[in-house]
Amino acid sequence: MDKAPKRTSSDVPTIERLDPGLDQLIAPDAKVEILAQGYDWCEGPVWVKDGGFLLFSDVPRNVVIRWKEGEGAREWLKPSGYTGREPRVGETGSNGLLIDGEGRLVLCQHGDRRVARMEAPLSAPAPNFSTVADRYEGARFNSPNDATFHSNGDLYFSDPAYGLPQQFEDPTREIPYQGVFRRQRDGTVTLLVRHMTRPNGLAFSPDEKTLYISQSDADAPLWLAFDVGPDGSPDASRLFFDASPLAKTRRGLPDGLKVDVAGNLFATGPGGVLVLTPEGRHLGTILTGQATGNCAFGDDGRSLYITADMYLMRVRLKTSGFVSRLAS
C-alpha cells in the first residue's frame, strides 16, 4: 500500500468488539501498546525467533529497523530496498520481510524491483544481497510488495506498482498488470494471479489449502480466498470479505495479513487490524487510529506486532500465530 497522510497522535488505539468470539482470541482487558514511533511509513514486520527481536521496514527511508524488548528500536540495515547510486524518488525501501528455512532474511525490495536475500548473517547485518527473483518472462517486476512461504519452500509474492516513482503511470513499467507470482525452489517463476487490480498481502491457511490475498483498491477493497491445488497453484477464487462499507468511514485499505493456528485472519485494513474467522465473520477490529500496513506474530506466538503509519504497536493474544506447516 502506498503511504497515507498521518493522523494525529491523539488517536488512541483501542479494540472494537463486534462478536463474543473475539474474547476467545483477544482477552477483554487486552491493551494496544505503542512500542516505537517517529517513522515515515512502517511495513513488513517479521519476528526473528533466534534472537527474540522484530524487524520491520521504514519504506521511504530505505531502512530496516530492529526492535527488541528492553532495548527499544534502532536502525539495523540501510540501504534495505534500493542499492543504486543514482538518486531516486518514490517508495524505495524494502517492504515485506521474511525469514527463510535457513534463517536468512528475505526482502521485497521496492527500489531494486526484486525479491532479494541478505547474505550477511542476522547477527552482523550488511547490505549484501543476492537476487531471489527480479523478472518474469524477461520483464522486470513492478515492485514486489509482500510475500509468504509455502511449506515446500516456494515463495509467493505480490507485485503492485507502489514502489515506482510514478506508481501505476510510471513509464519504466515492463509488466502491464499487477500480479501474484510464485518462485519455486528451482528458481522457476510463474504467474499465478493477474486479474486483481492491486494485490498486496497474502497468507496461507494452516493446511495450505487456501491462499488469502488482499486487494488495496479504494474502488474494490477486499480479500479473496483461492483454493490451492496439490501442486500449490491457486485455482478457483471467492470473495472472502468486502471492506467497502468500512472504507467509507475509516482510513486504510486491505494490506498485510497473517493467519493463526485456528485459521483466523488478522488482516490490516480500514480502521486497523480486522479479525476474521475462517468463514469470513468479522469478530472485531484492533483500531490503531492510523492507516495500517501489516502485522506479524511474535514473542511466544501470542503477541501481534502491528506497523501502523509512524508507529510500531503490540497487542497480546490468547491465540497463537506460530503455525506448524504440513512439511518442513
pLDDT at 11: 75
pLDDT at 325: 63
Give tens-digit pLDDT for 137-151. 999 999 999 999 999
Residue 33 and residue 73: Cα distance in Å, rounded?
Answer: 14
Question: Cell triple for residue 189?
Answer: 517463476
Q: How far is CA 219 from the centre of its chain?
A: 21
Give tens-digit pLDDT for 3-43. 444 444 447 899 999 999 999 999 999 999 999 999 999 99
pLDDT at 7: 44
pTM assigned to the model: 0.95
> What's the CA angle centered on 100, arms 96 and 35, to 5 degrees?
50
Question: Cell triple for residue 5?
Answer: 497522510
pLDDT at 56: 98
pLDDT at 89: 85
257: enclosing H helix or E strand: strand 257-259
Burial of 176 (0-12, 13-18, 19+ CB in 10 A): exposed
Task: Choose among 316, 311, 317, 270: nearest CA to 12.
Answer: 311
**What's the CATH architecture for 40-252?**
6 Propeller (2.120)
User: What is the residue extent of each domain of the chain?
Assistant: 40-252
pLDDT at 250: 97
3-state secondary structure 10-68: CCCCEEEECCHHHHHCCCCCCCEEEEEECCCCEEEEEEECCCCEEEEEECCCCEEEEEE
Which ranges of the chain have pLDDT less than 50? 1-10, 326-328
